[in-house]
Structure 1
Amino acid sequence: MTVEGLVRRVVIVGGGSAGWMTAAAMARLLMPSGVEVTLVESDAIGTVGVGEATIPTIRDFNALLGIDEHQFIRETGGSFKLGIEFVDWGRLGNRYFHPFGTFGRDTRTLRFHQLWLRRHHDDGRSEQERLEHYSMAALAASRGRFGTPSSDPNHPLSTISYAYHFDAGRYAMLLRRWSEAKGVRRIEGRITDVRRSDRDGAVASIALENGTEIVGDLFIDCSGFASLLLGRAMAEPFEDWSHWLPCDRAIALPSARSGPVLPYTRSTAVRGGWRWRIPLQHRTGSGIVYSSAHLSDEAALKDLRAGLDGEAVGEPRRLRFIAGHRRRLWSRNVVAIGLSGGFLEPLESTSIHLIQTAITRLLTLFPTAAGWQAERAEFNRQSVSEYERIRDFLILHYKASTRDDDAFWRYCGDMRVPDSLARRLDLFRAAGRIFREGDELFSESSWLAVMVGQGIMPHAHDPAADAIPALSLATQMAAMRSALGRAADQLALHEDYISSCCAAASAVDASSPDVRWPAIDPSRMAAEP
């Protein structure tokens, strides 16, 4: 069937997280209506398999499939993630935390951070009352504790969110078993040829090394950096963003567990790039992302080994990449999902999310009749927009650094950023205003955490915050910090939570009266002397 027809046969090229997440979603939502799904992969071709940290949206994907969270954690050797600790990013010796969830509690008319800025401008209390003191996730992480969100909006735990760390290879195997049980057909083999239609240029079939030919209506390219279908066969151009995101190399080198399993990822800025640390139950995921223009491969590996928490497990795995994306991620009857369509470094753990949103987008726009032009155009528009917004958030981390001890960091500090990011920075520097565009991934809280964490402080705050008497504001914000701290102290240690097989009951009783969530009431306080 050609690119203009109804889709009945979907062929997924490549396994790994991208391939098997796509297969699982299609098995759940499309196969019951008669769509056939075939996945082709070769055991001889490895997957990248280093993306072991995620963001909270992964929970929605697992819930869609009906995968039990406790089973998932057990089978993937996983742990829970409350956010990312950034070390030495703003400057040497600086640490800050990008938490999942929200900061403080908004009033009816003001964002909480405007009240915090008012306190900072009045008393210069940014160190005594760090933004992280008003984050449930950050406080729990600092104590090595974990708990699930409360459904009670008056409890501090209602503001927490979480994601996972897991072994990506084990996750792919879990999804493979799930998908095959639902009827997805897996074919083992190496692709030797991609055959295109003479009439419209669509992919008609793929040929395997053993002579097997696989025909399909829609082909999903999950072949990783190789981009066998979209990049090679369709020759779709690549939009290069390396001038903004200059890191183009990575080395992954897992290490033995050392110390407790912490509920957060750590990113440490180093010469030429940054190192990651991802705690799993059976090992620690470790690696370095760096710019080959500023650091040699040998020096990067030496620095990585020197920074490991425990003994190295296995051999180093080297990756080369360019930040950016294919100009179109859906061309004719080929859709790229995952690394075959683009790559944004794992600084904020967005790789799995980009797979997930591409799958959701494709299923939402899945062709149901002849003529796919509108669906393709909208898929590409949304995909490029998502890449651009995540790109800006990643660039922020580099641009906001004031480090000048290394040529790489000097380059990042001096580079001109996209106009879309420049506008955000100007608005925030003026009076702390943050605007989230449409359904973009990163929330106002995320932008706030990174900008403040790396030392960008607004010159002013929303004037509406000045209507609140200073003493009353100080008293109620102290009560807020106290409630958050008490709630964090009552959570289970993260390792104990995991050891208990992720018991369904919350580690904190949401009805406990000593951890009520205090609201700031500007109308009441404005009437006070």
Structure 2
Amino acid sequence: MTKRFDLVIVGGGTAGWMCAAACAAKLDPARYRVRLVESEEIGTVGVGEATLPQMKDFNDYLGLDEVAFMAATQASFKLGIEFVNWGRQGDRYIHPFGTFGRPIGEADFFSYWARANAAGRAAPLPDYCIAIAMAWANRFMLPNGAAGDVRNAFSYAYHLDAFLYARFLRLWAEERGVDRVEGRIVTVERDGESGGIASVTLASGAQVTGDLFVDCSGFRSLLLGQTLGVDLEDWARWLPCDSAVAVPSARSDDFTPYTRSTRRPAGWQWRIPLQHRTGNGYVYASAHISDDEAAATLLANLDGAALADPRVLRFKAGRRRRAWAHNVIGMGLAGGFLEPLESTSIYLVQMAIMHLLTLLPDGPAIDPALPAEFNRVMDVEYDRIRDFLILHYAANEADAPLWQAVTTMELPESLHGRIEAFRHRGHVPAYRDGLFGPTSWQAVFVGQGIVPRTGDRLADAMPDDVLAQRLDGFAASVAKGIADAPSHAQFVARYCPAPAL
């Protein structure tokens, strides 16, 4: 009988159990043995978590029931992220999970809007997006229109309790054959010939061997960083925040179907509404504020009573120089960290899982082409998210020292070129791979005060009056499209109510 390929996941939490669940759903148990090693002694970083629409795709890929998942994780819906005071003090905008407008001619909708806006004949860009209209009205509905209907021109994500999500996936994965091994790892043994990981030894003395190890040990990066010595590429010169203080608060009456990010003097504050509470945190640069001051600022800006003492987290922005080294793949915080400004943490875990399943070896001898391709695609993911996050910092007019410093920093060339292309005529190239399409970039550019001088030349042919009429018609269809949508609170209470904790 052919020996099964041994896949060992080190660490649980969201990353570990997402990986385990995907392996249980998609791998042939006759060919692959999947074990997850974790210790009840070691806590996880999980807090109230905001996600991206790709998470729905992941859950659907596993075959999870949405209602059961949302009830089990105290989840609510998310139509985008609201940014408060990010461009100028008093400004607010939403990065939506939906499109602006719809095709009306030879050029893209944004080029027509840019042309009409320059002539003073367009409404604000958010008026043409149903996701934004619903969000600011505190309403929600599932996409429910026919093809081409404005009520289908959006997607959605979730706010959830990351601890409860990991628990939900653990039960689901164990029912499908994943072996959970309880124990704290005390030593890691390397293979003298290959240099990879041969086994991990637990405090009990038990030894766990494997052909491929997935490191989900969090910031410790026990296997990839500590044992194999794969360095973290430090991006602090572009993303200066290195700390966060987090605290849950009582659920607010303002039960929004969106995440909120509010700029503060030394960083920014998140707000994530769940069914049973609200998740809050202040991400900050420790060079500009003390932990105590950050905690005091956070507590002073809650919209409900604090339910615990503030908890301080430390991190470095960056990614491991190789996500796959020898027979170890770093996943989640073990592979890198980008602050949660655009809710990308779970997405990066998801992408690592999907690429792992695509490139998974079928024997203990690992073809070098597999880690090479894995590292290439994960580098692309991290680099493009990095540039998108940097844009939020660079495009601001605040006068606090942190914010003045980031407006004068030298940008990655990849981002500098993109900003100039947008200023010139609103050009945003669409990626074949990687996160954040043109709508995302347009929302942040315009929301933070970078408006193109003109649009695509193909948008010039339409007569002014015809263009104005079409823009007005679409804005009216957006307003009409949300008229019958219930409040977010009403929809959640009817669709996926969670049990009281």
TM-score normalised by structure 2 residue count: 0.97
Task: Measure, in 1, the Cα distance between the counterparts of 2:360 and 2:106.
Answer: 41
Residue 214 of structure 1, CA deviation: 0.6
Map 1:312-391; keep pairs closer than 5 Å. 312-369=306-363, 370-391=365-386
Distance 2:61 2:459 in 1: 42
CA contact (8 A) 1:6 1:368 kept: no
Aligned to 1:16: 13
Q: Is the 8 A contact 1:7 1:218 kept in 2?
A: no
- The equivalent residue for 1:396 is 391
What is the DSSP-based 3-state SS (H/G/I as helix, E as strand, rest coil) of the residue aligned with 1:383? helix
Distance across 2 between alignment mates of 1:146 and 1:312: 27
Structure 1 residue 154: Cα displacement: 2.5
2:108 to 83, 107, 111: 111
Distance in 1 between residues matched to 2:298 and 2:484, nearest whole Å: 36
Q: 1:39 aligns with which of 36, 54, 60?
A: 36
1:296 aligns with 2:290: yes
Task: Give the equivalent residue in structure 2 for 1:515.
Answer: none
Instruction: With the length of structure 1 as denominator, give the TM-score of the two structures.
Output: 0.92
Aligned match of 1:510: none
Q: Partner amino acid for 1:380?
A: N
- Give the aligned residue type for 2:285: S
Number of equivalent positions: 495
2:78 paired residue number: 81
CA contact (8 A) 2:150 2:477 kept: yes
Distance in 2 (CA, whole Å) between partners of 1:475 and 1:318 is 53
In 1: Cα distance, 2:77 partner to 2:10 partner? 31
Specify every segment of 5 or more residues in structure 1 that has no aligned partner in the other structure, as ranges. 504-529
Q: Deviations over 1:436-493 (max 9, x none)?
A: 2322210100000000000001122222222111111111211111111011121111
Shift of 1:371: 3.6
Separation in structure 2 between the aligned mates of residue 198 and residue 469 of structure 1, nearest angstrom: 73
SS at match of 1:49: coil
Counterparts of 1:147 and 1:80 in 2: how far apart (Å)? 10
CA distance in 1, matches of 2:109, 2:73: 37
- In the TM superposition, residue 197 of structure 1 has moved relative to its aligned partner by 0.9
* Alpha carbons of structure 1 residues 484 and 219: separation in structure 2 relative to 1, 3 Å: same
For residues 291-334 of structure 1, the C-alpha deviation after alignment (integer angstroms, 9 at most, x for no partner) is 01111111111110111111101121211001001100100000
Structure 1 residues 6 and 329, CA gap change in structure 2 (3 angstroms): farther
Do 2:4 and 2:31's aligned partners in 1 also have CA atoms closer than 8 Å? no
Partner of 2:485: 491
Output the CA distance in 2 between the equivalents of 1:162 and 1:268.
Answer: 21
Do residues 459 (structure 1) and 453 (structure 2) align?
A: yes
**Residues 99 and 446 of structure 1 are in contact (CA less than 8 Å); yes or no, is this contact kept in structure 2?**
yes
Distance in 2, matches of 1:373 and 1:150, equals: 46
Distance 1:501 1:89 in 2: 34
Question: Does structure 1 retain, via aligned residues, the 8 Å contact 2:251–2:278?
Answer: yes
Corresponding residue for residue 258 of structure 2: 264
Inter-partner Cα distance in structure 2 for 1:148 and 1:171:
22
User: Which residue does 2:169 correspond to in 1?
Assistant: 175
Partner SS for 1:103:
coil
Is residue 278 from structure 1 mapped to residue 272 from structure 2 by the alignment?
Answer: yes
Instruction: Report the equivalent of 1:123.
Output: 120
Correspondence for 2:435? 441
**Letter of the aligned partner of 2:142 in structure 1?**
T
Counterparts of 1:220 and 1:58 in 2: how far apart (Å)? 20
Separation (CA, whole Å) in 2 of partners of 1:340 and 1:28:
23
Q: What SS does the aligned partner of 1:46 have? A: coil
Query: How far off is 1:51 after superposition?
Result: 5.4
SS of structure 2 residue aligned to 1:492: coil
Deviations 1:410-456 (A, max 9, x none): 01111111000001001000011110232221010000000000000
Q: Measured at CA, do residues 124 and 410 of structure 1 come closer, stay the same or move farther in structure 2, by a change above 3 Å?
A: farther
Moved over 6 A (4+): none
1:187 to 171, 181, 201: 181
What secondary structure sits across from 1:59 in the alignment? helix
CA drift at 1:34 = 2.6
Residue identity matched to 1:235:
G
Pairwise CA RMSD:
1.4
- Give yes or no for the alignment of 1:252 onto 2:252: no
Secondary structure, in 3 states, of the residue corresponding to 2:7?
Answer: strand
Q: Which residue of 2 aligns with 1:287?
A: 281
Larger mean Cα displacement after TM superposition, 288-297 or 272-281 = 288-297
Q: Classify the secondary structure of the residue corresponding to 1:255.
A: strand
1: CA distance, partners of 2:273 / 2:350:
23
Distance in 1 between the 2:295 and 2:275 partners?
24
Gapped regions of structure 2 (runs ≥ 5): none
